[in-house]
Structure 1
Amino acid sequence: MKRLLTGIRVIDFTWVGAGSFTTKLLADLGADVIKIETAARLDSLRIARPFKDRISGVNRSGYFADRNSSKRSITVNAKYEEGLGIVRRLIADADLVTNNFTPGVMEKMGLGYDSVREIRPDVVYASMSMQGITGPEKDYLGYGLIIGALTGVQHLTGLPDREPAGTGTNYPDHIPNPTHAAFAILAALRHRRRTGQGQFIDIAQTEPTLALLGPWLLNASLNGVIDERRGNTNPDMAPHGVYPCAGNDRWLAIAVANDAQWLALCEVLGIVPRDGWARTQDRLSDREAIDPEIAARTKDRDGRELVAALQAAGVSAGAVNDAGDVLRNDPQLQARGHWVQLNHPEMGPSIYNAPPFRFSDAESTPSAPAPLLGQHTREICEDLLGLDDGEVDRLIQAGVLA
């Protein structure tokens, strides 16, 4: 089947999480994403756990693999004049150039927007630094943890009487930043197709994450109220929490939105409804007494069977899955074909995430596993730049293509 971004070429300087995930989305949709790498300074995801068979190596990171499916990799050291020349020649035939470095890094390499625009006047150029290219903190360094802290996500995550806990993963790297960046890129590419004009896109990775905090920001703005951590509770629903099930560290989540759902929950669990808990407002006031009543009736029951019974009764419930459950025991993901197995050159058959969307008349699942470091160097140099084997060999020996 066709892929909707076939014909788009991306020269990709991104690394680590958010930037790599952004260009992965484009690559899975058919764009020719050429990842610019050098062994002199590896993408830190290449040496990030988990490793296949727990054996470390630049081509064995599962984290790197999932963020770089469908791409091609060329190793070229742009600190060499010949290396910079090769990159410039690749840019001359590209539609998009991406990076997520601190402001000024690309300029020091001679590959800032103004320089790139001289090579390709209609280029779309996406810069994804943590704080954008303007403002007093534009040069600050940071990862997903820091973005979560700066934006208020960290403050709201955890239990009321404990330190800010975070989300357990660098959430900004995985959802708000890459999806907002991909949207901006697609809009700029559409504008370019319609007008012939390129764009410089300045993405501050802190700002998409603020979209997660709409209600809390409004509460602070309109009411002067600074919300605090509240664990699994919800100010408008009760019960609303996570409860134990049979087995070691097995749990299910339950969210009751109205009084009818409360009565249905009571029937499934065998709770005798108390008059004092009939209304949501009453249950909100007495949630500390209600939660143990529910836990006492869930702790010896099979979680999946109980979820099925609650859902059949119209109560929102879901098992608390671990990574193994999500991968092997989730019938919904299996039915939708979410997991894609691709044969990686070094790791062998490996599982990849498919995008969370399906097209009626186009393919969107990953087309190839993540590339080995420099796997396509010779192919790119010969096919796109017209270099012969001897010239490629010379450049490799000289450390230019390394």
Structure 2
Amino acid sequence: MTSQLPLAGVRITDFTWIGAGSYTTKILADAGAEVIKIESIDRVDSLRLAAPYKDGIKGVNRSGYFADRNSSKRSMTLNMKHPRALELVSRLIRQSDIIANNFTPGVMDRFGLGYEAVRAMKEDIIYLAMSMQGSTGPQRHYLGYGATMAAVTGIQHLTGLPGREPAGTGTNYPDHIPNPCHATFAVLAALRHRRRTGQGQRIDMAQTEPTVALLGPAVLEYTANGHVPQARGNRHPQAAPHGVYRCVGDDRWIAIAVMNDAQWRGLRDALGKPAWMGDAELDSTQGRLERADEIDEQLNQETGRYVVEALVDLLQQHGVPAGRVSTAADVIADPQLRHRGHWLSLDHPEMGPSLYNAQPFRNARSPAGQARPAPLLGQHTREICSTLLGLNDAEIARLTEEGALR
């Protein structure tokens, strides 16, 4: 039951869009919060226009990317340029606990929804603003997405092969991990603070800063030793072998990380004690690091004789950290994820049964999320106007005709 969820009874007026902001409020929605996503027909959330589309058919309600980031929410469409829109949002805010946005500083002020204005509507409101660079500083108005943040914070510099151009992570990593998780943590802390003191909170989060926090070892290497770390591919400075190795089949690979001498012995035993692995110099980490290139070349020959899944099982039985380099199809079919109930099939109003991620954790004292499909654009506008804003059918029709509701 929804009432059993940790954030049951918490309402969020949600102006976030695209990646990190939408994922933040999804986490809160899955934990039981009622999230009302404020959208615009004139300027649609660009994630609604992002592939992949269900059945390859484009449409604002058919993006799998948008759907997965906006499950368990309701959608209300407003024209914030219309003078009546602020009145409607004000009514909603007075009934909300949190208002969230990830716009560039100044956008919410132009809507009449800066922090002080919102606090005047609801004194104990929790106000989450998560722009790229925060609300102060010489770069506060800079625009950016996940890839931009990965670049300016140093992640791209450290990603890729030595001597090659920065490769990035293959996805907008800041949008998926550091930023939504830190923002969610800040909101939960603010809710606890309000429960204890009755005071609201302004949360000013620069999305670059949680991303910088991921670079702790690289920052320390520079501040302590004056050395600027460079990209090293799959190599590890204190472990060998540590990399990705070919297996039987087209583009099938295994990741192996030997972190100590015991795991090296396990690898050697699992592979049938090949002669080259019996060299005494390889029995120590330092010896293996000095001959890492040779080990990688030889190990590729050994792993190339195995089917990846069988080799993973074999190495794990011998205490060697190893995992298949999975494709999206592999991940969806993964037996461990299936056992955990990670994948949900939810019946979307337009796309039909669609695959969603469940919460990545299980609470022993509450169910695992609300598990409702993402909303259609404006799907709940009339419902919210009627049940929360107290508008009758005639008023809703008039505001729609005037262009305040879309």
TM-score range with shorter-chain normalisation?
over 0.9
CA–CA distance in 1 between the matches of 2:289 and 2:371? 49
Separation in structure 2 between the aligned mates of residue 219 and residue 3 of structure 1, nearest angstrom: 43
The runs of 5 or more residues in structure 1 that have no matched partner are: none
Give per-residue Cα distances to partners, 1:31-74, cap 9 Å, x unaligned. 11000001011100000010000100000000000000000000
| Residue 338 in structure 1 maps to residue 315 in structure 2 | no
What residue is the counterpart of 1:307 in the other structure? 312
CA contact (8 A) 2:343 2:356 kept: yes
Give the SS at the match of 2:388: helix
Distance in 1 between the 2:179 and 2:216 partners? Answer: 16
Partner of 2:358: 354
Alignment of 1:225-244 (within 5 A): 225-244=227-246
1:145 corresponds in structure 2 to 147
Kindly provide the CA deviation profile for residues 197-250 of structure 1, in whole angstroms up to 9, marking residues without a partner as x. Answer: 111000000000112111110010101011100000001110000000111100
The Cα of 1:194 is off from its aligned counterpart by 1.3
Which residue type is aligned with residue 378 of structure 1? R
Residues 114-129 of structure 1 aligned to structure 2 (within 5 Å)? 114-129=116-131
Match of 2:64 in 1: 62
Q: Which amino acid aligns with 2:189?
A: A
Q: Residue type matched to 1:340 in 2?
A: L
Residues 150-206 of structure 1: CA deviation (Å, up to 9, x unaligned): 111010000002100000000000000000000000111111111111110000000
**Separation of aligned partners in 2, 1:359 and 1:261:** 34
**Counterpart of 1:393 in structure 2: which amino acid?**
A
Query: What amino acid does structure 1 have at the position aligned with 2:354?
Result: S
Question: What displacement does 1:269 show?
Answer: 1.7
After TM superposition, what 4+ stretches of structure 1 lie above 6 angstroms from structure 2?
none
Secondary structure, counterpart of 1:225 in structure 2: coil
Structure 2 unaligned spans of 5+:
none
User: What is the aligned length?
Assistant: 401
- Indicate conservation of the 8 Å contact 2:161/2:231, yes or no: yes
Within 5 Å, give how 1:96-135 maps onto structure 2: 96-135=98-137
User: Which of residues 211, 214, 217 in structure 2 aligns to 1:212?
Assistant: 214
| TM-score, normalised via structure 1 length | 0.98
Provide, for residues 268-313 of structure 1, a one-character-per-residue CA deviation record: whole Å limited to 9, x for no partner: 2232221221211011011111111111111131100000000000
Amino acid at match of 2:218: W
Residue pair 1:125, 1:201 contacting (<8 A) in 2 also: yes
Counterpart Cα distance in 2 of 1:314 and 1:366: 38
The equivalent of 1:275 in structure 2 is 280
1:98-117 CA distances to partner (integer Å, 9 max, x unpaired)? 00000011001100001101
| 1:394 shift after superposition | 1.9
Structure 1 contact 11–91 (Cα < 8 Å) conserved? yes
Q: 1:133-212 counterparts in 2 under 5 A?
A: 133-212=135-214
Mapped to 1, the partners of 2:263 and 2:82 lie a distance apart of 67
Give the secondary-structure state (helix, strand or coil) at the position aligned to 1:277: helix
% same residue? 60
> Residue 7 of structure 2: SS of its match in structure 1?
coil
The whole-number CA distance in structure 1 between the counterparts of 2:241 and 2:98 is 49
Whether the 8 Å contact between 2:150 and 2:168 is mirrored in structure 1 is: yes
Residue in structure 2 matched with residue 14 of structure 1 by the alignment = 16
The answer to whether the 8 Å contact 1:78/1:87 transfers is: no
Quote how far apart the aligned CAs of 1:264 are.
Answer: 1.6
Distance 2:262 2:202 in 1: 53
Question: Quick one: distance in 1 between partners of 2:205 and 2:344?
Answer: 30
Match of 2:303 in 1: 298
Q: Match for residue 256 of structure 1?
A: 258
**Pairwise CA distance, 1:365:** 2.7
Contact 2:32 2:369 in 1 (8 A): no
Give 1:309's aligned amino acid.
L
